[in-house]
A and B are shown apart, each in its own frame.
Chain A
């Protein structure tokens, strides 16, 4: 089954404790992206990747890191999480062609205390 898999689905942690949210897709998509969704603000892009070893900042990259060592994986790293990073996070992937929609993972709900 074609899918985007995120882990963990839920995480409660404390300020400053490094964490990684994994994202994996099995559709051989070149493009992968991370979004955060906050009430009233909609989905905002954090980072994206056009292909292996190619990453770029989205609209709200501060406090986040990503890597794309393999085509299927695109982990999101919070080196020193802070309470303002409490949010619902989505990973998405797509082919890099016009009119290609993005497929989303189930989401990760992070709470930073």
Chain B
């Protein structure tokens, strides 16, 4: 079983739609959680950190459920520019600052 699992998609949605991505992680010792965004052939870029209380940044909302070892990302009012691969990332400081990446969920927003 992979340490971080995501639905690979692709999710094809119209502009303005709300879309949600889910991610599960297997290591209960994981301590930090992030969503990264990666455009085709480019470097991953931090979208947002995920906090236990849940957090929001504009149209993006991230939630963490430690009991179920589950992370989610909600995107409201999707824009064409949101088309990318979204990477769920967990950090286990037991191994330094190691990040473990999910394989990514592809989002395509169409007009």
Contacts and interface: CB of A to CB of B under 8 A. Distances in A.
B41 A107 contact: yes
Residue among B43, B91, B96, B97 with most chain A CB within 10 A: B97
B12 interface: no
B99 interface: yes
Given A98-B32, A101-B34, A101-B49, A43 B44 contact: yes
Nearest to A49: B96
Interface of B: 31-32, 34, 41-46, 49, 87, 91, 93, 96-99, 101-104
Contact of B43 (A40, A48, A56, A90): A90
Given A50-B97, A98-B93, 17 more contacts: A33-B98, A42-B87, A42-B102, A42-B103, A45-B98, A90-B44, A94-B97, A99-B49, A101-B49, A102-B46, A102-B97, A102-B99, A104-B43, A104-B45, A107-B41, A107-B42, A107-B43
* Secondary structure call for the A interface: strand
Contact of A56 (B44, B93, B96, B99): B96
Contacts, number: 59
A62 B12 CA distance: 38
Contacts of A58: 98
A11 interface: no
Interface of A: 31, 33, 35, 40-45, 48, 50, 56, 58, 88, 90, 92, 94, 96, 98-107, 109
A96 B97 contact: yes
Contacts of A45: 98-99
